Amino acid sequence: MSLSVYLDRFLPMIEKALRDELHCSEEMFPYYGMMQYHMGWLDEHLQPVEAARGKRLRPLLCLLACEAVGGQAEWALPAAAAIELLHNFSLIHDDIEDDSETRRHRTTVWKLWGIAHGINSGDGMFAKAIRLLGQLQERSVGLERALNAQCIFAETCVELTEGQYLDMAFESHMDVDLEGYLEMIRGKSAALIACSVRIGALLGGAEDSVVLAYHQFGENLGLAFQVVDDILGIWGSEKRTGKSACADILTRKKTLPVVYALGDGGLRALYAKKTLTEQDVERVVRILETHGAREFAEGLAGEYSERAMDSLAQAGPETPARKAMRDLASSLLTRTY
């Protein structure tokens, strides 16, 4: 089966599971309405709308991994939905921490309703994700695998917060090197993608060695995915990405192209300023291009992409779902948004 067949089957399942979990009473609608706005189901007046909803990448990978090892996607659906809620909880909080006013071409939750409501809405999503995991014990996965999935999920939550801490801490540090950067994105970005395929393979009934291979696939895919994001954050089209192309520079994020060129005195001087102007952003981009930072980042993304595909090849016999995973990964690493 082609990837499109799986997308047509899985995306409605994921969407229904998410909507069911965020359904609420009329009294609590303004609260859950903020979450539903972030998910792309409502507009800022809390009226139904068809807005950008993200790629649903992580739950898709979870369900594909489950079927790739011989399981049924329905077994892993609660975990897949929980992972997507965890991802979106982190985005709501990231927007607050990064002072980001737009996401997916729309105003962020905190900008519309205030920081306090933004924090509480994110917390609510996190709690809902934990509750969803409890449904695994009702599926045909066995108690031991259900509990292992919950432990993996909890470990990933810790990794996410550690990565986010490093990301914020690096904003005021001028001594960030490639090793530190990779440690940061391994927690902030790769951990949840690795968690998605690891839990999917686990719940599908795979042996430990196969689960490990899927985990390694997910981690390397996550690293490549973030490097591509870093490239798009500087050179991508704002119209396509939904975020300001200069936002990462204005907030002095230590993305890979910047880390690669941090030895340049001019770049260090610009990043030492309290605030950057649009002219400063243009200077930063010119410095990065002079040092070949974009080419370096593209090369590293390619290396991690190859590692991901190698790990997937080691995960056992080819299956239609695994081929779809490879096709999905390839599309993510060549994207322009």
CATH number, domain of 291, equals 1.10.600.10
On the CB side of 84, CA atoms within 13 Å amount to: 29
R_g of the chain, CA atoms, integer Å: 20
Among candidate residues 58, 49, 42, the one with its CA nearest the CA of residue 10: 58
Asked if 79 and 203 count as a contact pair (C-beta separation under 8 A), the reply is: yes
Q: From first to last of its 337 residues, what are the pLDDT tens digits of the chain?
A: 789 999 999 999 999 999 999 999 999 999 999 999 999 999 999 999 988 888 899 999 999 999 999 999 999 999 999 999 999 999 999 999 988 898 988 999 999 999 999 999 999 999 999 999 999 988 888 999 999 999 999 999 999 999 999 999 998 888 999 999 999 999 999 999 999 999 999 999 999 999 999 999 999 999 999 999 999 989 987 665 455 557 788 888 899 999 999 999 999 999 999 888 989 999 999 999 999 999 999 999 999 999 999 999 999 888 999 999 999 999 988 887 7
d(CA 98, CA 91): 10
Q: What are φ and ψ of residue 332, in 5° steps?
A: -70, -35
Orientation of helix 29-38 relative to helix 73-97, angle to 10°: 90
By 3-state DSSP, what share of the chain in percent is helix, strand and coil, each rounded to 5?
75, 0, 25
Among candidate residues 123, 181, 130, 149, the one with its CA nearest the CA of residue 65: 149
Looking at the structure of the chain, the number of domains it has is 1
d(CA 227, CA 213): 21
Domain of residue 175: give its range. 3-333
Asked if 18 and 129 count as a contact pair (C-beta separation under 8 A), the reply is: no
Q: What's this model's pTM, rounded to 2 decimal places?
A: 0.94
> How does DSSP classify residue 245?
T
